[in-house]
Amino acid sequence: VITAMSRPMINHRGPEFAALFKELVEGLQWALRTRNDVLLFPASGTGGLEAAVVNLLSPDEQVLFCTIGSFGDRWANIAAGYGADVVRLEMPWGQAVVPEDVGRVLDEHPSINQVFVTHNETSTGVTNPLADIANVVKSREKILAVDSVSGASCLPLNTDDLGIDVLVTGSQKGWMAPPGLTMAVVSEAAYAVSARAKCPRWYFDFARERKYQERGQTYTTPPIVEMRAVAEGIAMLREEGLENAWTRHSTVAEMVRTGMEALGCSLFAAPDCRSNTVTAIDNPTGSPEKLKELLALLRTTYGLVLAGGQDKAQGQIFRIGHLGMIDEAAVYDIFDALEQGMRDVGVITDTGAGLAAAREVARRGAVAVG
């Protein structure tokens, strides 16, 4: 990826760019299992979330957001910021959306025509039952928008089979690239909604972007470096095989979860919805200050960067990201560092139990995706 990123610049209105654009879009269609357009915008993932909102919604329109954490809240807040009448279906952090609840809310609010849902909630380490939710939404013939910034390419995702109308992802998570490029799958139904939607918009206008991308260009100057990086990430996924990559994430996640429990830690997410791309762990140190100390020690002494909790989970949990460029050997490195840090701050007395438990999971073989 780094080599791909270090090549000299090209004219973004020329034939070399058209070839890169084609390779990238076809690769994304392959990885996301879609025949729809994939529109590219220079922005972080949040830009893609905003693009979905401004192209699908009108001020005062009633709309359902299913939110189970920080990123779900962010998406709902964007829509509220544009004046939509946001109905929130919330779950306590650490739990997934119950598909039947989505059906109930839609039946109670017949004016709602659009549903927004997070595939994988990074702040809590929870994966929603996306196929079941999509089934509920599409059987009622509603528009479905999905945030899969931290799920796409790592978790099973058949965009067209599920009938997803807008799917948002971002370069810096499962695609193994740096931040800066957001990508949105857009269905014909979503374009039709967009033509009527009244939210103010300019930069993220789907119709104009589509017109340019039909010619192999983007409306604005594109982030060529990020595009090359994602294209290389997809080339790596093609070599591995998409379903093998999903299985790799499933195996690695099971190693992390089993290893953490072997260290006496409890996992934040409910057992039936734990994410294969990020694991949230209850703070084992006894206090938010001590957790901060542990994370700082890991970073400075052991070269391991882990995340704390976001928003109301701050001080309550820490998170291990295990997506994209991750394998079994990396999990051993994580436990080697983490256990030394936990010992140094007095959470455990002996090191090795987590690593041994993770090793035992790997020894039993690949863990099928659930």
Question: Contact residues for ligand PLP (CB under 6 A)?
Answer: 44-46, 71, 118, 122, 147, 149-150, 170, 179
Cβ closer to ligand PLP: 150 or 279? 150
Cβ closer to ligand PLP: 179 or 352? 179
Residue 49: CB minimum distance to ligand PLP, A:
6
Cβ closer to ligand PLP: 52 or 347? 52
Which residues neighbour 273 within 8 Å (Cβ) at sequence distance 6 or greater? 95, 96, 126, 127, 128, 129
The neighbouring-strand residues paired with 278 are 321
Residue 80: CB minimum distance to ligand PLP, A:
17
Which residues neighbour 239 within 8 Å (Cβ) at sequence distance 6 or greater? none
CA distances from 161 to 100, 132, 133, 353 (A): 20, 12, 13, 42
Helix 328-344 and helix 242-262, axial crossing angle in degrees, nearest 10: 20
Cβ closer to ligand PLP: 94 or 170? 170
Residue 43: CB minimum distance to ligand PLP, A:
8
Let me know how many helices (H) and strands (E) the chain has, helices first: 13, 12
Cβ closer to ligand PLP: 142 or 173? 173
Instruction: List the 317-321 sheet strands across, edge first.
Output: 278-282, 317-321, 307-308
Cβ closer to ligand PLP: 46 or 62? 46
Residues, the chain: 370
29: three-class secondary structure by DSSP: helix
Please spell the DSSP secondary structure of 243-272, one letter per residue: HHHHHHHHHHHHHHHHHHHHTT--BSS-GG
Cβ closer to ligand PLP: 170 or 259? 170
Residue 149: CB minimum distance to ligand PLP, A:
4
Residue 172: CB minimum distance to ligand PLP, A:
6
Which residues neighbour 247 within 8 Å (Cβ) at sequence distance 6 or greater? 366, 367, 368, 369
Cβ closer to ligand PLP: 99 or 170? 170
Nearest to 309 by CA among 72, 123, 120: 123
Residue 293: CB minimum distance to ligand PLP, A:
26
Residue 319: CB minimum distance to ligand PLP, A:
11
Q: Which residue is nearest to ligand PLP (CB)?
A: 45
How far apart, in whole angstroms, are the C-alpha atoms of residue 173 and residue 324?
A: 6
Residue 146: CB minimum distance to ligand PLP, A:
10
Cβ closer to ligand PLP: 122 or 159? 122
Which phi and psi (to 5°) does residue 94 adopt? 105, -5
Locus of tokens 């998409």? 242
Residue 212: CB minimum distance to ligand PLP, A:
23
